Amino acid sequence: MRICCIGAGYVGGPTMTVIARKCPDIRVDVVDVNRERIAAWNSDSLPVFEPGLDELVKEVRGKNLFFTADVEYSVEKADIVFISVNTPTKTYGYGAGSASDLSFVESCARSIARASKDGKIVVEKSTMPVRTAEVIKTILESSGYKFHVLSNPEFLAEGTAVRDLENPDRVLIGGDDATEEGRAAIETLASIYARWVPREKIIKTNLWSSELSKLTANAFLAQRISSINAISALCEATGADVDQVAAAVGSDSRIGSKFLKSSVGYGGSCFQKDLLNLIYLCEHFNLPKVADYWRAVVDMNAFQKRRFSADIVERMFKNISGKRIAIFGFAFKENTNDTRESPAIDICRDLLSECARLAFYDPKVSDGQILSDLGLSEGDGRVEFCKSPYEAAENSHAIVLLTHWDEFRKLDYEKIRKTMQTPAWIFDGRNCLDHRLLAEIGFLVRGIGKGNLA
């Protein structure tokens, strides 16, 4: 059996590496139109940072895992083709700012139709609006061959991709479960996952349930974060502590403790776009009340980011003009080099608009990426890139912690404090530091939802 995956990104690369590792008899080609990305996958410096990924790629690359830019050849040879391309929010025309831009998906479907010399199983791995499979099937079958389109959304989280892929909570496969042929196609894909995933974790549904489940899962996760972030504002007003509230609330087994960590706001390439897409679908199907319900989750996230940067300005005597501020972390979460929709982008823009000077340290994000995210050019005097958090903090008036990198918890804050301006502030946007200890050292400390601090 041969698999081809179109799209060598954060999902396609790690997912196919794990499939290749678990199925040595299957040849897996990962293809992409971006030749630089393919070259990086074939080098020692992979384009995606994920714990454990480098080692896995080294084990299988060149054996049964291949990265190539020859899309059509790999598609032609494959029995199963995964579509794992980006599905960003549309920025133009009908549905701009809300609907999914399906141009990359459509272009894949056309490549598959062009390259195929027989029928294949085509798998939607990308997150799609409900009923996209219909569109894909129509384009594919214009080739004259019979295709089976399956939906197999990916639930991995960045930073834990390898772990999530090797030991998923579930694998979801949607297909045409009303016909024997359709059920056989679902089983072909299921039998690949069954090599390492227990059968009871492989859920089979119809196509539309599968497509909608992916959007719904992300919406529920984002909603939990917005819910606890809404409560964090109330904690600050009342003297409660959001981490204590989250622990008390989350210990109810009906609620559960995960995804209740109050923060500076959720980021990442998917929550925002998938919520916007869900909202768009609700509006499209004339369900404005349902759309409003989910829009509140998005609005709360924007409010939380804005609230955090406004608090920094307010606390620092309503004036950060010309003040050096150390930014600890720029990635949207720990253990990834991804900055897409990172809350750090909006917060740093707010601070720059107040004329602050920013000194960045992130262990994995490149200087060029930060410049590009902030729309700045090299040599801009308002920003500086540092090799260590100590260097960033030196001479700063404040530390603003935006990513929960483990190393930030282990720093010598006593030493850092001595190199900073006074009063020295710490704004902990992830509530990951020991606030009491920092206050004892002499910092003025602000966390999220900590009504009891500074």
| Selection from 25, 32, 36 nearest residue 8 by Cα | 32
Q: Which of residues 375-434 bind ligand NAD (CB under 6 A)?
A: none
Count CB neighbours of 292 within 10 A: 13
33 versus 453: smaller Cβ distance to ligand NAD: 33
85 versus 99: smaller Cβ distance to ligand NAD: 85
Alpha carbons 430 and 347: distance in angstroms, whole number: 13
Among 73, 196, 259, 390, binds ligand UGA (CB under 6 A): 259
Among 73, 104, 259, 385, binds ligand NAD (CB under 6 A): 104
The count of residues in the chain is 454
72 versus 384: smaller Cβ distance to ligand NAD: 72
- Applying CB under 6 A, does 56 fall inside the site for ligand UGA? no
156 versus 438: smaller Cβ distance to ligand NAD: 156
- Applying CB under 6 A, does 127 fall inside the site for ligand NAD? yes
* Residue 291 dihedral angles phi and psi, to the nearest 5°: -60, -45
Residues 107-136, mask of contacts with ligand UGA (x by CB under 6 A): --------------------x---------
Alpha carbons 40 and 295: distance in angstroms, whole number: 38
Q: What angle do CA 259, 278, 179 make, to 5 degrees?
A: 105
154 versus 362: smaller Cβ distance to ligand UGA: 154
What separation, in Å, do the N-terminal and C-terminal C-alpha atoms of the chain show? 62
Alpha carbons 238 and 260: distance in angstroms, whole number: 19
Amino acid in position 346? D
- Applying CB under 6 A, does 157 fall inside the site for ligand UGA? yes
- Applying CB under 6 A, does 339 fall inside the site for ligand UGA? no
Q: Two tokens at 404?
A: 């929960």
Helix (H) / strand (E) element for 326: namely: strand 324-328
Part of the chain binding ligand NAD (CB under 6 A), chosen from 150-158, 179-187, 233-241, 290-298: 150-158
* Residue 327 dihedral angles phi and psi, to the nearest 5°: -105, 115
Among 193, 266, 330, 413, binds ligand UGA (CB under 6 A): 266
Among ligand UGA, ligand NAD, none, what does residue 346 contact (CB within 5–8 Å per kind)?
A: none
Among 269, 272, 301, 335, binds ligand NAD (CB under 6 A): 269
Beta bridge partners of 245: none
Alpha carbons 29 and 25: distance in angstroms, whole number: 13
86 versus 229: smaller Cβ distance to ligand NAD: 86
- Contact assessment for residue 420 and residue 394, using Cβ atoms and an 8 Å cutoff: yes
76 versus 154: smaller Cβ distance to ligand UGA: 154
Part of the chain binding ligand NAD (CB under 6 A), chosen from 29-37, 229-237, 370-378, 416-424: 29-37
- Applying CB under 6 A, does 373 fall inside the site for ligand NAD? no
Query: How many chain residues are in contact with ligand NAD, going by CB under 6 A?
Result: 26
The yes-or-no answer on residue 348 being catalytic is no
Query: How many chain residues are in contact with ligand UGA, going by CB under 6 A?
Result: 20
Q: Say if residue 423 is preceded by a cis peptide, omega within 30 of 0.
A: yes
Among ligand NAD, ligand UGA, none, what does residue 259 contact (CB within 5–8 Å per kind)?
A: ligand UGA
Residue 387, phi-psi category: left (phi > 0), alpha (psi -120 to 50), beta (remainder): alpha
Among ligand UGA, ligand NAD, none, what does residue 337 contact (CB within 5–8 Å per kind)?
A: none
| Selection from 308, 311, 324 nearest residue 381 by Cα | 324
Half-sphere exposure of 407 (CA within 13 A, CB side): 11
Q: Two tokens at 137?
A: 């099937």
Alpha carbons 295 and 276: distance in angstroms, whole number: 8
151 versus 396: smaller Cβ distance to ligand NAD: 151
Cα torsion 122, 123, 125, 131: sign: positive
CA 114 and chain centroid, separation: 32
Among 10, 294, 361, 425, binds ligand NAD (CB under 6 A): 10
Alpha carbons 129 and 208: distance in angstroms, whole number: 9
Among ligand NAD, ligand UGA, none, what does residue 87 contact (CB within 5–8 Å per kind)?
A: ligand NAD
- Applying CB under 6 A, does 102 fall inside the site for ligand NAD? no
Part of the chain binding ligand UGA (CB under 6 A), chosen from 255-263, 312-320, 322-330, 355-363: 255-263
- Applying CB under 6 A, does 47 fall inside the site for ligand UGA? no
Catalytic residue among 4, 23, 270, 348: 270
- Contact assessment for residue 67 and residue 47, using Cβ atoms and an 8 Å cutoff: no
Among 34, 167, 251, 366, binds ligand NAD (CB under 6 A): 34
- Residue 10, classed as helix, strand or coil, is coil
Instruction: Kindly list the catalytic residues.
Output: 270
Chain contacts with ligand NAD (rule: CB under 6 A): 6-12, 32-34, 37, 71, 84-87, 104, 107-108, 126-127, 154, 156, 158, 269-270
Chain contacts with ligand UGA (rule: CB under 6 A): 127, 154-158, 218, 221, 225, 259-261, 263, 266-268, 270-271, 332-333
